[in-house]
Structure 1
Amino acid sequence: MFDELPAAMEPDDGSGHRAGRRGAVRYLQNEAAPRAARMVLGNALRFCREAAGLSAGQAADRLGVSASKVSRIESGTTSPRERDLLRFFELYSIADAERGNLLELAAAAHKSAWWHEWSAVTPKYLQAVVSFEDMAIRVKSYEPTYLHGLLQTPEYARALIGRGRGAESSHDVLARFRAQRKERFANAPDKQLICIVDESTLLRPVGSRAIMRRQLEHLLTLMSQPRIKLRLAPLNDYDVHVELGPTTIFDFAGPLLPTIVFTEGYDGGLVIEDEEMVDRRKKAFDALATRSLDSHAMRRRLRHLADRYK
């Protein structure tokens, strides 16, 4: 399923086609999903089209392709083949120097992703999220149900994965995928992770008392890492408003990929690019972070909670 929600549709460009892609809200389940590298290329081609003074519909007509094909390329759902890319170059009068940059982007977009070997057990929406995570310079997240995957110990992750659907063998593969994902993030020194931990996730038992205690101790260890910033949204505080719901915000370097928000559901999730919707969620995240416990108060609460799992 890949639906563009009616409230997020772009204004008509006058030719029956929708113009641009800022405004997109897409619900993903297990179909071909946008990847970050493809979205960078798509955005670059959209900027070139707009600089040429063409609407998406006009570009499609002159290229002799469907408007949906132009839309899929600009949204990052698919990557253009080289012969298609050369036609874009000619139509948009792209200079030779810029063509080289776009060809490099296309090569990166076509490159097989590291998670390809896990593609049989990872849903497409999760692959899209990991691609955003790979390219982002900053990941900000609030999860009200369970801890964010990059914060989980292997035992906590395995116990949580074991609750899901599928055979035991697929759970083992997913656990290895989760471990590889964490390792890649840990080995990327330019990335920053900012998480608001909901206290309810620490009171909701996963696995065993021993697993929960080690998980709390792990959070205390993570708080000493300069690239990871944690705050705690406490229960029983009338000033802490958590209506934001499960939200991950991806910030990227450069203008070719603006901030993206992902909010996960039971069997899929929303990829939000609409500028106003992204801005509202960023402000709600910042407000929640401001009202949450700072690092000193969070450490005290974590130690207290760890004692409960002795």
Structure 2
Amino acid sequence: MFKELPAAMEPDDGSGHKAGRRGAVRYLQDEAAPRAARMVLGNALRFCREAAGLSAGQAARQLGGSPSKVSRIESGTTAAKERDLLKFFEMYSIADAERGHLLELAAAAHQLAWWHEWSAITPKYLQAVVSFEDMATRVMSYEPTYLHGLLQTSEYARALIGRGRSAESTHDVLARFRAQRLERFANAPDKKLMCIVDESALLRPIGSPAIMRRQLEHLMKLMSHARIKLLLAPLNDYSVHVEIGPTTIFDFAGRVLPTIVYTEGYEGGLVIEDEEMVDRRKKAFDALATRSLDSHAMRRRLQHLADRYK
């Protein structure tokens, strides 16, 4: 089920529909979810609509559809069909040069994503997250329970998959999905990752002592990676406040999309686009980063923990 949660929403357009995408806080489970490529197209169409002085309701009436259809297109939940694009072009008086750009965005939005072969076994909210991860130039994350997926060794990941709710017959396939996700990050030279690792996640045993020791050794190696920055939120430090909870922040180059925040629960995930809420999360993340251990202190703590797992 798709749920639009109340937030700092934009003014009503007169039809009961909230205009625009900003202000959205969406709880996703296993329904059609926004994808980054579609969101880029939807974001561009929204700017064109606003420049034309039209509300979403007015655009929907001229389009011959409902305000929810315009909302789904602008939010990236669905991609605009060619016939709808041509109507948008006329309604918004879009110049020929800009039409070519929008058609290119539409072509990208309609392409099958790399994770398509895993779409039957991965939840829709995870597919949305991976699409953000693919397009973002910087990913910042804090995970208090387990390590971020891009930091996991294959055996740590496999042990986590085995603890999950998926059928055992899908475990090998899900492991290949995670491996492909890592490979794509490794092959993206302009992408940066910053992770705050919670010490409690390192004390929570996954798999076996040998798996945990090798995972910790892997983290120490990652600390030398040019595009990865790791910090450690230590236990037993009263100045470290982790109330922010699991948070991943996606920044995009060229302002193709505003910053997006994602937080995951047991049965779904929250996609936050509301500007005030995003800003609060970013400030809380920065405050946690300031109080976390730097690379030198973190390396010493990781080595100490690795020795405990011997």
Which TM-score tier does this pair reach, normalised by the shorter chain?
Answer: over 0.9
Distance 1:112 1:120 in 2: 14
Q: Secondary structure at the match of 2:7?
A: helix
Q: 1:8 to 1:175 in 2, by over 3 A?
A: farther
Distance 1:54 1:255 in 2: 23
Q: 1:8 touches 1:25 (CA, 8 Å); kept in 2?
A: no
* 1:10 correspondence with 2:10: yes
Any residues of structure 2 matched to 1:159-198 within 5 Å, and which? 159-198=159-198
Distance 1:90 1:145 in 2: 50
Any residues of structure 2 matched to 1:1-310 within 5 Å, and which? 1-310=1-310
Q: Secondary structure at the match of 2:270?
A: strand
* Percent identity of equivalent pairs: 87
Amino acid aligned to 2:251: D
Q: Secondary structure at the match of 2:37?
A: helix
Amino acid aligned to 1:65: G
Distance 2:65 2:277 in 1: 31
Amino acid aligned to 1:226: A
Distance 2:121 2:60 in 1: 36
Distance 1:203 1:17 in 2: 47
Q: Considering only aligned residues, what root-mean-square deviation do their CA atoms show, in Å?
A: 0.8
Distance 2:242 2:278 in 1: 17
Per-residue deviation, residues 200-237 of structure 1 (Å, max 9, x unmatched) = 00000000000000000000000000100000000000
Distance 1:268 1:56 in 2: 28
Q: Which aligned runs of 4 or more in structure 1 are off by greater than 4 angstroms?
A: none
Q: 1:220 touches 1:302 (CA, 8 Å); kept in 2?
A: yes
Per-residue deviation, residues 38-85 of structure 1 (Å, max 9, x unmatched) = 000000000000000111111111121111100000000001111110
Q: 1:248 touches 1:261 (CA, 8 Å); kept in 2?
A: yes
Q: 2:7 touches 2:274 (CA, 8 Å); kept in 1?
A: no
Per-residue deviation, residues 168-208 of structure 1 (Å, max 9, x unmatched) = 22111111100000010011000000000000000000000
Q: Secondary structure at the match of 1:232?
A: strand
Distance 1:271 1:8 in 2: 14
Per-residue deviation, residues 9-65 of structure 1 (Å, max 9, x unmatched) = 432123432111100000000010000000000000000000001111111111211
Q: Calculate the TM-score normalised by the size of structure 2.
A: 0.99
The Cα of 1:105 is off from its aligned counterpart by 0.1
Amino acid aligned to 1:301: R
Q: 1:11 touches 1:19 (CA, 8 Å); kept in 2?
A: yes
Q: 1:261 touches 1:272 (CA, 8 Å); kept in 2?
A: yes
Which consecutive residues of structure 2, in runs of 5 or more, have no partner in the other structure?
none
Deviates more, 1:111-120 or 1:252-261: 252-261
Q: Calculate the TM-score normalised by the size of structure 1.
A: 0.99
Amino acid aligned to 1:236: N
Distance 1:181 1:8 in 2: 34
Amino acid aligned to 1:184: R
Amino acid aligned to 2:110: H
Q: 1:138 touches 1:192 (CA, 8 Å); kept in 2?
A: yes
Q: 2:234 touches 2:293 (CA, 8 Å); kept in 1?
A: yes
Amino acid aligned to 2:264: E
Distance 1:80 1:212 in 2: 46
Amino acid aligned to 2:83: R
The Cα of 1:8 is off from its aligned counterpart by 4.8
Which consecutive residues of structure 1, in runs of 5 or more, have no partner in the other structure?
none
